[in-house]
Structure 1
């Protein structure tokens, strides 16, 4: 079950994000937990000072990026991180996976990040997030137990994560970067959403629609582009967009990987 927790702190504290990609590549190759622990914790491949921190970061990576709603979800993420290319899609997938697997990250992203981004604001600040968390603390039995120091740390690490995946820039003031998914990443996201929401036929009503970084009013025209007809068929009506996939989740990464 996706519960409220402070895993954002651990992910945001990882000093070298190559560690995340390295761990996900190993997991995609079915590396067992003992080998992972040996490579990352005992052998200290990334030079992280304490064994306790190394173990904490490994747990955080697995929790944030290697939990799945179903087998198709697992197949998609696994084949993505086995691919030799698709670097932008992998970077976006870190954001998407955090939003899918971490309920607090999803809440902050929807109620603070996307709200500011789509309103046309230039910046997002720590106090935007802490204000939201303080409001949530009034009704959440979990967040109610957290101190102001914890809330401030969560806000800071959330923005640190966004900076490390190149969604924001700046040191003191976090400025939004303009985010427009490339065609390959958009195709992957369509397959991802269809995998994790198999009962939802209308992608416009997806819980994760904002992951496309576009307004609903623009989505129909985007999806009608001829370039996408190879990967799925769409039907549009007044209610939204219905999509029929042309490949299964085990095939699509190899297909799009060959289009670069």
Structure 2
């Protein structure tokens, strides 16, 4: 997976409810979304170019090569249609899985500071990380100007704010994210569908994306497993997560 600047486009979309409505339509029938979005302009974009760009970034940022993840996303965005906080977290997880730059910024910067209990998340810290990333990534050297780096940092913070993970205007501060047992079960089932995960969940860097501190993970996973919404095996320090449901059954299994 190569780096791209989808973050910039998503950071400029004012109403994320459009994303939450459009994604399940796209996953079920792309031609239907094209008719709604481009032909009929039901989302009220000003130009055809902006409509096409919206469709392109939606496919790039949120549609996976893994059909099980796509089916899960389609079902859950529809189910969560009146639950903006859950939609935002699901969007955050999907974009992290599908976009290398967003994933690494979250892993190396956002969650590092989040679990340290920091209050503020300055843009300068994101810029410093991006400059370091460019210096050690041959494919990025001489491709991104200082202006591009500044824009990526600004739009990244904008995405996190629109997902209710940051707040504030000039100074961005962290929102405390509370993940319910049912939403945590969604996260764990999503994880079980992912490719290239570690056999020991406790050693997998994606575990941090649950927003649950490392010292609480085992207790929370055991609590969720007791409700039969996830399968787990625990031996010594090795914790293995296995799906409890196929994507088509997950809503009834967890929320039924």
Q: What is the TM-score when the length of structure 2 is the normalising length?
A: 0.91
- What stretches of structure 1 of length at least 5 have no aligned partner? none
Q: 3-state SS of the aligned residue for 1:180?
A: coil
Aligned twin of 2:180: 182
Shift of the 177–71 alpha-carbon distance from structure 1 to 2, 3 Å rule, reads same
Q: What is the alpha-carbon distance in structure 2 between the residues aligned to residue 227 and residue 174 of structure 1?
A: 36
Aligned twin of 1:44: 41
* 1:74 and 2:70 matched: yes
Which aligned pairs between 1:186-225 and structure 2 lie closer than 5 A? 186-197=184-195, 200-225=198-223
Please give the per-residue CA displacement for 1:13-53, whole angstroms capped at 9, x wherever unaligned: 1122121012113124x2233x3223213332232222212
Q: What is the alpha-carbon distance in structure 1 between the residues aligned to residue 3 and residue 147 of structure 2?
A: 17
- Deviation at 1:153? 0.6
- What stretches of structure 2 of length at least 5 have no aligned partner? none
Shift of the 139–227 alpha-carbon distance from structure 1 to 2, 3 Å rule, reads closer
Q: What is the alpha-carbon distance in structure 1 between the residues aligned to residue 135 and residue 241 of structure 2?
A: 40
- Residue 249 (structure 1) aligned to one of 247, 250, 253: 247
Q: 3-state SS of the aligned residue for 1:21?
A: helix
Q: Which has the larger displacement, 180-189 or 226-235?
A: 226-235
Aligned twin of 2:21: 22
Please give the per-residue CA displacement for 1:186-229, whole angstroms capped at 9, x wherever unaligned: 00110111111476432212241111112222111112226743
**Conserved 8 A contact 2:201-2:238:** yes
Shift of the 252–90 alpha-carbon distance from structure 1 to 2, 3 Å rule, reads same
Runs of 4+ in 1 over 6 A off after TM superposition: none
Q: 3-state SS of the aligned residue for 2:248?
A: coil
* RMSD value, Cα: 2.0
Please give the per-residue CA displacement for 1:119-152, whole angstroms capped at 9, x wherever unaligned: 1110112111111111111122332211011111
Q: What is the alpha-carbon distance in structure 2 between the residues aligned to residue 53 and residue 199 of structure 1?
A: 36
Q: What is the alpha-carbon distance in structure 2 between the residues aligned to residue 131 and residue 254 of structure 1?
A: 45
Please give the per-residue CA displacement for 1:92-142, whole angstroms capped at 9, x wherever unaligned: 111011110000011111111111111111011211111111111112233
Q: What is the TM-score when the length of structure 1 is the normalising length?
A: 0.89
* 1:132 and 2:129 matched: yes
Q: What is the alpha-carbon distance in structure 1 between the residues aligned to residue 196 and residue 131 of structure 2?
A: 35
